[in-house]
Each structure stands twice: as C-alpha cells, then as structure tokens.
Structure 1
Amino acid sequence: MPKPSTRVLLLACTLLAGVVLPARADLTHRYSFTSDASDSIGAAHGTLEGAAAVSDGAVVLDGADAYVNLPGGLIQGYTAATIEAWTTMAEGPVWTRLFDFGATNGANGHHYVFFTPHSGAADTRLVISDTDPGWAHEELVAQAGFLDDGNPVHVAAVLDPAKGWGAFYVNGRLAAWSQNISIPLSQVAPDYCFLGKSLYSADAYLTGTIDEFRIHNSALGSAEIAQSFATGPAALNYDPGPVAELALALPAQVRLGGVVIPELTGTFATLGQVTLGPLDVTLRSSAPGVVTVQTNGNLIAKAVGTATITAERDGKSATAVVTVLPAPVVLMHRYSFNEPAGSVEVVDSVGGANGSVNPAAEGPNTVGLGTGQAVFPGGSTYRQGGYIDLPDGIVSSKTNITFEVWATWNGPSGSTWQRIFDFGSSSKGNDPHASGNGTGSFFLTPRGGAGVVRFDAAPTGFANERILDGTATLPVGRETHIVCIYAPANQSSQLWIDGKLVRSSTAPFPLANLQDANCWLGLANWNDPPLNGALNEFRIYEGALTELEIALRRQAGPNTIPTDPGLLESISLQAPTLLQGNRVAAQAALLANFQKSKNVDISGLGSVTFTSTDPNIFTVAAGGGLLPVNLGSALLIGSYQGRSATSAVSVVAATRLTLTLPSPALAGGAATSAILMAEFPGTNANVAAFAGVTFASSATNVASIDATGTLLPLRVGTTTISAS
C-alpha cells in the first residue's frame, strides 16, 4: 500500500507551499525554464534563439549565438526594479551580459540597463544609461572581481533611482552599491530584452546556464533578497520575518561637511545575520542641525557638535553617537630633512616656511643632514647644541593645530627637559644659546620632570598651562610616532604615542595668544639641555587630526601622506601567548582592512573595544594590553564599527629555570641584578621581575637579595642564592 501514503505526502507538501510561500505582489515576471522560456507570472513569454536550449530545468547558452529573447517593454513604467537570476556563468570574454534591456542604433546600445559578470575594467557591474550611444553617459554599481568563474550564483540587481539607490547582491549578500543613481527607469527604452546577449554587436555572447530569472516592479530589501536566496529557485519566499536584533556602526568622529554611510546588520531568526542597506531601516538624528539624514540614507555632517543616530526596523532599534569636528585638517608645513650634508637650510615642501640650520655656540656640534633625517648630537649644556630655527608665527597663525613627528631619542634615559620642539618666547630673546627662561611656549620633551614624555601648552608662562604627560619616558634608540593636538574649537588637547591616546585635556586659550618669536627644533626657550636624537619627519597641520587619521598616518610612515582609505571591509585580531607571572602587558593588535588601506593598526582608537571572555585567565585594558592571571586559555574579542574579531589567548607556565649571578661579587660593592631565565613553549624570558618569583639567600649576612632579584654583596663569604 505505498501509493496512498505517497499521495498524501505530496498533497501535504503542495498545501504547505501554497500557504507558507506566497508569490510577492510585485513579482511581475518569472522564467523557470522547465521546458521553454515561458513567463509563469506575467505571460510575457520569451523565445530561445540560436543554439539556446532547455535542459534539466535551465536554459543552456553556448557563447556562440545562443540567447533568450524576452518581449520588449518588460520594465516599462517601473519607477524601481529588482532583477533576480540563479545562474552559472562560465569563464569567457569581457563584456558578456547576464541581461541587457534597452534599444539599439546600428552597432551600439542606448537607453539601457544591463548586468555584466566581467567588464573590460576587471569588475562586475550593473549599468544604467540615458543617452545614445549608451556609453556616453552611464551610471554604474561595480565590484572588483568577476562572476564568470563557472560557479552557481544567485544575483539580484536593484535600482531605485528616486532614492538614489543602486545595488547588486551575490548569494544573498550585499556586494556593491551606489547612493548616487539619478537616471530614472523611465529613461530606459526596453525595445529589446535579452538574456545572454549584449545590445552592442561587438560584445560576446554569454556561456553558461540560467535556472531562474525574475523581475520585480519594486526595490527588494537586503533581508528579502537573502531570504529568496536561502529559499532557492524552485519556490517563492521573500519574507525573512521580523528582525530580532539590529546593529548600527558609525565612525566616532567625522569632519564638518563629511558624508557617512551607515553600516547596518540585522539578525533574523531563519537567516542569521544579514548586512543591510541604509534603505532597509528608518534612520533618525537626534540633532539634525549637526548630522542630517538624507533620503538615500547618507548622513551629512552639518555643524560642529554631537548627534545620536538611531536605526529602526520591525520595532527594534540601534544607536550610535557621532561627533562632528571642524573642517578637514590641512597640511601646512612639512619638513622631511632630505637636504644634503652641510646644508644650512631645511625645506618646507608644503608651505615654503624653510628653516635655518644653526651650530652650537660652544664646541663643534651642529645638526647633521644627508641621511634623510635631522640628527641632533646633544651636548652637556644648551650652549653646546645645534638647532633648527623655523619662521616666527608658525603656531599663532593657526586656529587649531596638530604637530606630527617621527622622532628617535638617544637619551641618556635619565636626562630631563630635552626638546624635540619648543615654539614660544623667552627672556633669551632670539638666541637659544643665551641664558634665560621661557615666557610662554608649546613644547615636546622626551622626558619631563615627572619622568615621562610631555606635551606642554602655555601661551603666557604658567597661567592656563596645559600639561599632557604620557605614561612613560620616550623609548631610547627607537623611532616613535608622536602626535600633539591643541584645538580650541573642540576644547581639546591630546598627546598620542605610537597610535595610542595617552593623555587629553582642554584647550582654554586661542593660539593667537602665543608669542612664538622662537620656533626651535632641538633646543628650548629655557636653559635646558639640547636634544640628543633624530627627527625623520616633522609636520604641522591646521586643524585636529581624527583618531583614524592618526592611525592611517602612523601606518603610512614618514615618507607618505595617506589618502581616504575608503569603506571598512573587515577587521582581524592578533594576540600573543602570555607568560605566567609577567607584570608587563603584552600587546594585542586589532587590524582594519579598508578598501584602499590594509592592515591598519587601530588598537589605540577610542572607538575600539577589547573584551576577555574569562578575566580569571587574562585581563585586557583599553588599547589591547593583556595581563596573565591564571594558566589556561580564553578568547579575546576586538570590536570596531559593529564588527568583531576573536583570537584565542593562552597563559603558559615556565618549563625550566636557569639562575645566573655576577661572580665574584665584591664585598660592599654595588647592587647587581640576578638573571632568572625561564623556558616557555616557543620562547625564553628573564622572569626575575615576574609575579610569583621568589629569591632567597642562605647567608643574608654575606649577601641579600630582594623580591626583584637585586643582589647586594655585604661581606666576604659564600652564600647560596635560590629562585623559584
């Protein structure tokens, strides 16, 4: 009795399909190629031309003369359209067509819309034109790479010119889009509607198969297209259900006049996470005078200030805060120190404010050139230092200012108050080799009185002084990227070291208050020691760099000025293995890939967050500093602009210890440090200062040793030092 149960099962499936998977009211044409090119929705039946043939539920195109000829006028009267296809396009010549709807004039097409899997510019593109010949004025949506690779693919092309929107989706995911489509569909003259053939006679035919081809008289949303792809070509289902969770990602800072494209994702019960377009949600701004939402979903920065942007769909919402900064920074002065040895002038390649190279007042020291950097040899006193004198007024002429420098400090590590730069005035007059005190200045020192790097802004002595101290002295013998910002318009001053914001404060006075008659590199407006180090590049900007601009410049290095990186594409996370007991944080790196800039270290950005899934294994600080807590493994999560990346982090134990002591130690001599080398999986380290390490002396009256491994010889004799 197998047949009755089979019939019941088939009937149940048919009823289920009829109830759960209804056709959309805006689906106007459907070609399933079961036996021919019939239209099961709109009765606009097509014909198979040339060698085109239907086989196994798909039309087969041979790339020679085969194509499907659909009736003219298919999208006539549409204001928006979505064109879907399940297809396999084999590798072939450029400029083949999946579809091409329009008119011809001789050998040329015009007033058309088409989709090519492989253009002559090495991309995949959706094109609309409103002129004859068509190539004379086209608007397009393009993505690098090809789709004619022989793999089955679902393509959905969407045009909604009234909202400026054009996009195409590949396998249910938003692949490329434009918010600047202005040619209305009424300008398309669909006299001919071809599948697999171009309106241009010189273009090749498509080689491949088309399983299903659909036309809608509306712009489908991202979730609807994702649901269609998930359902497949055999059935109709465009309902993803309500969104369960919505996420909105925006840059934390944007320039006045800047345009921001929101990055949106929605999580659906049946689909999981779907990348949404700006027209898939409703966007609102809490302060339209600061950030305005345009019809196409773009955000325009209209005024300096802060706005909260809210995205809404299906009763769910997500928010993000955007701060609008003053107009874009302008590079005003750039010193690359590429002059030959012996030069007495350094060139400002941007602003023409060249500086003079001056020797020491005592001794032979001067600033060394000829190696692509300015080398300052230091000296015992300010009179023994060479320096560079930049033109007066280089700071006070600005409204907001950013100093950027790649500097190497050569110490000594205990030296204080050397100057990388010092711009201001002094009782010295205009001679840094005279004795005197500063009366107001902006300066940067590798090591100030607090024992750390300092950026100091004091226009009139100590009144309203802004001290921005770092967290450590500038490293000795290693090039460091330093950014100092003073922006009264933002009420913000900042000190960045190697891409990390280490200190911030307010900016209470205008730059015009500074009397910057002395603009010196390498010497101070005070009687402080001369710089012992080198400057690879020194730049001055009008305006305040954003955190992302700082990260991009650090990555580009001193020889390159970076350009717009494009949209964020992905992020990745790198994390080291942690050594048990290490008190010094190990650094994780969150890297961002933008369209035009790859592997940008964004770890120090304020809009980046790091999370440990188990703080009992390791902890993580802002900026990605990792500290071990207990042996084991846990995940590190880094997040930026709505994207997240993970990396496993392990805390490992030492497998072997080796203790080395100075021998012999002189009774009553200076203290020395023990070296306790530990072998860890994959590395070795001196763990003398690690947490959990203990030292002991068997004869403390002969020599003592403290918890950090500092050995103090006291008297003649022998003692055994142990460590564990």
Structure 2
Amino acid sequence: MLAALPSCGDNSPSGPGPQKPDGGGSGSQHEDAGLDGPGADPHLILHYAFEDSATAVTDSSSRQKDGTLNAVSGWTADGRVGRALAMTGGNPANVFVSMPDGVLTDVDDFTIAFWVKMNTVADWARVYDFGNGLADPQNRFMYFTPAGFSGVPAQRGTMASSYGGAASNELVALSPTILPTGAWKHVAIVGTSGARTIYVDGYPALKVENGPMVPPREMEPMGNASWLGKGRFPDPGLDGTLDEFMIYDRALTQAEVADLAWPGMDYSYWRFDEGTGGAAKDSSDRNIPTALGTGVTWKPGRLGMALDFPGGAAGATGPTVTLATNPLANCTTELSVSAWIKLDAVQNWARVFDFGTGDTRFIYLAPSDGAGMHFAMVSEHGLFDLVAPAPVAADGNWHHVAATVAADGTVNLYIDGANVKTGSSPMVKPSDFATMSDLWLGKSRFNDPYLDGAIDELRIGCRALTADEIMTLSRR
C-alpha cells in the first residue's frame, strides 16, 4: 500500500540477451544463447530462473545473490520457461522468497522484469517489495503490486512505487488496468532518475516523469526486509505463479523489453520495426513469413517504425502485405486482433486485414463502411457483422483498433481502448477459419479501395483479450 495511506549512471547500451529455450509453459522463447554465461548482458545483476527444488533460490547471474524460499511446496513444473514458483496468497503470505543484501548496491537506473500468471488479483499483493526496514525519514522501499490504489478519487491498477522516507518523497506509477487471471503476462518496470515506465507484454502501458528521485541503491541494506511474493505491510501474499525474475542496473529500451516479453506461441506479433526491405518479421515462435507488396513502404510508427500503405482505387492492383501462413490456424473458440493504425484518408471498405478463401470463408476489419468501423466473419455456418457507431478518424493521429471473440460467442470491438460495440456470434466461430489461403493486410477480397494509412504493432492470437488488456495496449 502507499506509505502515504499508511501501509503502505552512465550505462552501456548492450542488449538484454535472449531468453533460454522453453522447458514448459505456453511456448518456447528465443533459441539463441541464454541470458547467463558467455555473451550475457553484464548489466543483468539478478536472474532467478526458478529451476530449483530446495529452499535456495539460485541467482544465475554472475553476482550469485541467492534468495531463500520459505516453503518448498511452492515449486512447480508449470512455469513459463521450465519450472517456476507458485505462490498461493494468504495473509501473511504462504509462499515467499527472502532477498539477500547487496542486490541493489550502487544501482541508480534499473529494469525489473518478470513473467507472472495470476490466479486471483488481491489488492496490494506484491510481486516484489524491497526496502531497508527502517523508520521514517530513513525508511526506503520499492514495490510492484498488480492491484494498488492512488489519487483522488482513488484509481485501481498495476502500481510501482519507490518510497523515500516521506509521503512527499514517493514516486508512484499507476496504470489503471488489471492483469488478467489464468494467462502468462510479462511485466517490466524501467526507472531512470524521477521517471518510471511500466511495460506489459513489451508495450509501455504507463510512463511517469519528473517524480521524486528515490534510487534503488537507497533500499540497501535490504536483507532483513525484502521479499518476492510478500509485502512489508499486513497485505495479502501474491496468488499466482512467478517466473524469470530479472534485475538490470540499466534502463532497457522498449525494443529490449519487447524481446524479454517474447510471446512464444501465445500470439503472432508484428512490430514492423525493420524500417527497410521487403519483409516484416513476426516476433513470435509462430514466425509467419510476411512479404511487402509493391507500394508498401516504411514510416515512423506508434513505436519504432510502421508499414505505410498509400491507398489505391477499387479494382486496381494496389499496395498489399501478404502473410505466408494463417495466424488463426490454431484458434478454436477465441481470437483477438489488435493494431495501431493512422489513416491518411477514410476509404470506405478499405481493410486493415482481410483473411479468407474466396468469397465463402473470410474475416476482416475495415476502419469504415461509411457508417462505422466494420468487423465481419463469414463461413459455411453463417454471416456475422458488427459495426461500431463511428469510423476510425483520419485526423493525423494514431488510433488503436481491436476485435475479440470470446468462447461464448461474444464479440467486442474497441477503438482507442474503449469498447464501442458488442455483439454475439452463435454460429460463426474462430475454428471456421482454420484453413485460409488469402491472407492480406491493406487489401480487400472484393472490389474495394486499398488502405490509405499506416499499420503498427499488430498482434493476432487465439485468446480473447480482456478489456483491461486491450486498454493497456491502447495507452498513449
């Protein structure tokens, strides 16, 4: 909890290093060299991979700052990468790791990153809580909670705090969204001076600048009052599974954080950051080859670079991006598609994407049909259309768009994080689109104009993202 409520250098640009191959969970990670050992980032100062079985929690970085687990019953084989630590809530916490002294010695800029799969989201439960255990004004602590409160009126969401001995010297970063339960999520907190950025799945969900400067080094000595899964106040323990907990003594870039948040087989993710050439990379283990057609170019994007589509008249051969394999092939009952788009002009019926086979099986999203943003699914089982009250504006700004289909047939459309339309598709289901041959961005299968605008940060997967997850991806 917030202490105010009473309870609560010059670093080199070397990369964070790829993640080790998967031993379990929901999909493999990068298959290059591991995070530790030769070639590892020298700024990785703590790495708990949670591959242990006793009370010692091994730090596989070069600094060997091992933690101590209070209950060996917390070990589980069901990790994001191999084994993990399953925490089971409780107040006081049932399962937690006590941290040693010296982890944060001389650390100013930092990145703390981890994978977490929540079972329940209890207010003020901690992923980590590091501090010196002293009284104010010498009291120092920093923590991350999946559900904290701040502001007037109070706003609930994921929160990172650094407390410097008084309420007036506390840096609070609060993203007004909650992590989902039952799904692995990657979270990173990046800090420099009085700034904090919270990343979720590699996306910057929140940035706070010009706050109080409470550097991590002031948490030391932290050995008697620092934990994973437990807080310093009478708050619940974390109820969820924790994996791949890492601390760097530098601020990672957004691209480096996105590498740590590699989605495995969870979803396909096109960052469109190449900036040159005729191909775009699917930054996932799905690795769908993606080819840029004539006329598609690169431009500055919402994050990094983006694809730019110059438009084209109906019936002409216009700018198209083609996917080599179907990103919805493994979807059965759920799906999600989300992207940032920036329209240069509103072309009715132009497509963000259009996937299908001929005119008998297809799924598409059009920013405008003349009345509103239009999402459609057509198969041998029927026809489903859902139209938002308004189209996506061509106003010179980036707008986030998303469509989700849930297991019960509920379909939601989102623009800039707001749920703009809900419908029900009892007949047409994601499994209808397991086989498709025409997989296009920017092009319609009918006699419609081509997209005139840019696409960035495209994510396509077989789980219906929650409203909070969509809001997180739409944050500016």
TM-score, length basis structure 2: 0.49
Higher relative contact order (CA 8 A, sep 6+): 2
- Rg (Cα) greater in structure: 1
Higher strand proportion, which one? 1
